[in-house]
């Protein structure tokens, strides 16, 4: 995974188990391209990413890198270098899918173990001076206000934990009631520099 340093780079983590979200993903990547982003999509279903061991080795044994040598490392590397990280996921009980979460759990090497007070709460200090903005685009079969609210709060809080520069989240319903292109544009505009 290499990025063009002259353009803004987006990394889309596709957390679908199958290809059912692909038409919406195409709208999203098109909106990113129109906004000047070079975009890489990682279909996590095709990646071998072991669960986080909870060992803190990425902080105190091999600082900045997970002790597990698998594709979780390359996703973390790409996430550290991009300008915009995008969660693309079926909304799962208001949260993200297990496919997406297996990668998100392995992103913690990208933050420092040291604690800091951020917006009145304890979080971690940054490891890198530049932290990508975070967008969450969740997909639901039909609108569900409760699930949508949980998802937005989750993405917002993840952004605090990853010290994201900016953040925005939205949920698209597959029942045809959502204007996907407008939602995608709105998310990108919300995190624009």
Partner 1 sequence: MTERKALLLVGSPRGIDRSSSGRLGGRLLDALKERGFETDKLHVHAVVRSPTETERALIAIESAGVVILSLPLYVDSFPAPVIALLERIAERRTGAGRVRFLLLIQCGFPEREQNATALAIAERFAAEVGWEWLGGLAFGAMENHGGSATEVLPRIAAAIADGKPIPEVALKRVMPAWFYRLGGNIMWRRQAKKNGVTRRLRAKPYAD
Beta-carbon neighbour count of residue 117 at 10 Å?
Answer: 8
Q: Is 157 in the site for partner 1 (CB under 8 A)?
A: yes
Q: How far is CA 84 from CA 9, 13, 78, 124, in A?
A: 6, 11, 10, 20
Q: How far is CA 167 from CA 29, 38, 137, in A?
A: 17, 19, 11
Interacting span for partner 1 (CB under 8 A) from 18-26, 30-38, 45-53, 175-183: 45-53
**21, 8, 4: which is closest to 166 by C-alpha?**
8
Q: Is 96 in the site for partner 1 (CB under 8 A)?
A: yes
Which are the contacts of 101, defined by CB distance < 8 A and separation ≥ 6? 15, 95
With CB under 8 A as the contact rule, the residue among 9, 39, 110, 133 that binds partner 1 is 110
Closest approach, Cβ 142 to partner 1, in A, equals 13
Closest approach, Cβ 30 to partner 1, in A, equals 27
* Site residues, partner 1 (CB under 8 A): 5, 51-56, 59-65, 76-77, 80-81, 92-98, 101-102, 104-105, 107-108, 110, 112-117, 121-123, 127-128, 146-147, 150, 153-154, 157-158, 161
């Amino acid at each position: 995974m290499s990025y063009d340093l002259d353009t803004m780079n987006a990394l889309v983590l596709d957390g679908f188990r199958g290809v059912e979200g692909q038409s919406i993903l195409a709208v999203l990547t098109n909106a990113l391209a129109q906004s000047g982003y070079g975009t890489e999509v990682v279909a996590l279903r095709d990646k071998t990413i072991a669960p986080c061991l909870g060992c803190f080795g990425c902080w105190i044994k091999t600082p900045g890198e997970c002790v597990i040598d698998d594709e979780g490392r390359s996703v973390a590397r790409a996430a550290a270098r991009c300008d915009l990280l995008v969660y693309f996921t079926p909304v799962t009980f208001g949260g993200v899918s297990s496919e997406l979460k297996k990668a998100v759990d392995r992103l913690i090497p990208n933050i420092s173990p040291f604690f800091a007070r951020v917006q009145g709460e304890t979080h971690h200090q940054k490891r890198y001076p530049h932290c990508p903005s975070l967008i969450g685009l969740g997909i639901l079969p039909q609108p569900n206000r409760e699930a949508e609210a949980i998802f937005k709060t989750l993405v917002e809080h993840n952004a605090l934990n990853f010290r994201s520069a900016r953040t925005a989240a939205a949920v698209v319903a597959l029942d045809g009631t959502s204007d996907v292109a407008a939602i995608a544009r709105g998310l990108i505009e919300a995190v624009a520099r």
